[in-house]
Structure 1
């Protein structure tokens, strides 16, 4: 018996709902994971990955539609009258050269749209997400006598660029297939030990906005700055002034991040340029805070430009990339409470933790922001080897984060925990 087999048998008892006995499927789950880990695909290029998922769901008896919103896959399984429960996984990898040193490390190299060769890695745990997703589908099919309703399995592309959920919704995910009564997902955590699950009701992940600011000026010779209006100086003032949005304009009780991640301008030591470009990321939970951040950026940049003597036609351009924007992820409190109790039943109360919200973003939140305002719950699946976690806590050392080239989750513990937790969560929601 492999370690994966022993771990899943230890966590598979579901006293309140069903008993998951999947020992005979464990070698196949491990095979699925290793294959997915070694064959990652970038956002909107998940062709082979989607085919693998579609094939697996078809074999289980789902009515499968592929190429939804790109390489998205929707599987429907009707099992009598009852609620519709949607389980979502994301499928894309990241442009990272894997440096974990594990024998099954990804060796994939591709040329991106800019013509640059990059590595590809599942550095955010989507391979574990997909394996847990398929394992859950298997167990719910095997336990059809324990639930009634419609099981909706959704494999979503392009999560890493914040576009996949939008694309699937635009193609009628809820109108052409089914409108779920409940939507659930999991995400691997790089700060929770494998074998455990962490949840946060209400806001659990932040909204994300990418903003460009084009600061304009009147260039000239660096030796005669009095004949110019220097955009480098204006941009510098803007960077400092933006820090006052969070510290002085917003309530200290409202989380907010305004980060300038990139600044580019000028071409030579003694030339004052006409333009400087800034790139920002904005994070918040409350949609009203997001609107206030954007309004403040526009007001502050215009004010600084005016004070420098620029006419209105040369005020900075503030470009919000709405196509890349994603809302915060809000876990419906009532549904999340039911999911929490179901997961405790599956893996034990000591292995379920209440966690703090994070300022990272996830486009899963979009599924709860349609006109229907459907309830969603995303929970964190521990991914860190417990021994490594204990040593890091003892020595106060930093663990590899998500999106790190060295992030190597303990899949042998995480996958069985994910399957048990997700299966029981779904059964609880079917039994409303």
Structure 2
């Protein structure tokens, strides 16, 4: 009987209003969604190149009954379903993969490769689980479209490009997301977790992910022979001083209770043992929560770089150049009212033991821009556990013993992860949509 009820929903048949059909309906749709997931996993596309992916997402959403617009923010997809009077609710999933060569050994592992902008090639992989996000979102859209008699309002589903570059949300907004389509009162997104077991959810209000800036420092010098350093201005020595002093921004200038990170991820200089080069190049990632802390760190980097150059006796024409990349990712803020409403709905459906605090972290997510563009919009990003229970148990729950997001070995457990993702996203959407 329960299988008949689940199938009836997707066939558009009447179902008694009192029946709780969500779990059964999602279970009935899971084989389709897992097959979709495996297809997406085997055919990843990197940022702003999600051509085949966006076409498949558009086709799936049209088939579910949505009005679909493609090419929003280059390769973004916007799907809309109007269903009477009620709030406008936007659900978001991201589509892009990473230039990572997959090492999971899965039968559906990606074998795709790409030519890198700086030269060379790399494999391509959904190492951050965006294939899970898309599959879960298609399941959510299919279910909500099939149960229109249970909710009221306007549902907007967006499939966003280029989250990994921090430019997808920005470009969709710049392309008129809030002008060409109804502006949402509520925005909800999900992200898989490489540290939570399947069947569990992570959710908290306030800041949950960080501002992310990429900063390049071009350190200039006067090159020469390594045997005669007194005739040169050594950029390697200057860059080394800069690296050391940058650490004091966090350890000596910032309140110890203010989260922040300044990491020098790359230090490149020179060509040979006995040559003092003309330049050195530093690449930094800078992370914070508040706009004030972000500006403090950027200003501090510029001050330290110039100060160390002056101390090294660099003339004005050899002063280092600090370049802050345009593709900045703002901090993700979960608005308290909506987030606590969704958390209560999760707790009621899944049980308190399955709903965990979403521990704030220094990773970045451009989902943040949808609230930042208009702070009257309620916003929530939650986590779904993606780690196979036996794998989680074998690691003793220690995240350092599990493959992380962006790892070539990261492999979600598809069926329970997608099932939880759909059930959670439907629950979240219904908690803010109007009732019939």
* TM-score, normalization by structure 1: 0.93
Match for residue 283 of structure 1? 287
* Residue in structure 2 matched with residue 29 of structure 1 by the alignment: 33
Match of 2:342 in 1: 339
Match of 2:265 in 1: 261
Aligned-residue offset at 1:396: 8.3
Q: 1:421 aligns with which of 417, 420, 424?
A: 424
Q: What is the CA–CA distance in structure 2 between the aligned matches of 1:17 and 1:404, rounded to whole Å?
A: 42
Tell me which of 44, 62, 72 is aligned to 2:48: 44
Q: What is the rounded CA distance, in whole Å, between the counterparts of 2:411 and 2:374 in structure 1?
A: 39
How many residues get paired?
Answer: 420
Counterpart in the other structure of 1:406: 409
Please give the secondary structure, in 2, of the residue aligned with 1:393.
coil
Residue 78 of structure 1 is matched in structure 2 by: 82
Residues 199-278 of structure 1: pairs in structure 2 closer than 5 A: 199-278=203-282
List aligned pairs for 1:153-172, cutoff 5 A.
153-172=157-176
1:45 shift after superposition = 0.9
Give 3-state SS (helix, strand or coil) of 2:149's partner: helix
8 Å contact 1:17–1:428 — kept in the other structure? no
Residue number among 136, 139, 142 corresponding to 2:143 in the alignment: 139
Residue equivalent to 1:389: 392
Whether the aligned pair in 1 keeps the contact of 2:89 and 2:185 (CA below 8 Å) is yes
Q: Counterpart of 2:108?
A: 104
1:126 is matched with which residue?
Answer: 130
The one of 18, 21, 34 equivalent to 1:19 is 21
Structure 2: unaligned runs, 5 residues or longer:
8-16
Would the aligned equivalents of 2:195 and 2:397 in 1 still touch at CA under 8 Å? no
Structure 1 residue 268, shift from structure 2 partner: 2.2
Matched, 1:293 2:297: yes
Question: Which residue matches 1:186?
Answer: 190
| Distance in 1 (alpha carbons) for counterparts of 2:396 and 2:163 | 31
Q: What do residues 4-29 of structure 1 show as CA deviations (whole Å, max 9, x unaligned)?
A: x9xx99xxxxx999631324423211
- Provide closer, same or farther for how the CA distance between residues 228 and 397 of structure 1 changes in structure 2, counting only shifts above 3 A: closer
- Partner secondary structure for residue 254 of structure 1: coil
Q: CA deviation at 1:118?
A: 2.0
Residue 380 (structure 1) aligned with residue 374 (structure 2): no
Q: Report the CA distance between 1:349 and its aligned residue.
A: 2.0
SS in 1 for 2:396: helix
**Deviations 1:146-197, CA, capped at 9 Å, x for gaps:** 2111000000011111111111011011111121000000000000000000
Q: What is the CA-CA distance between 1:116 and the residue it aligns to?
A: 3.0
1:33 Cα deviation after fit: 1.2
RMSD of aligned C-alpha atoms? 2.0
Task: Normalising by structure 2, report the TM-score.
Answer: 0.92
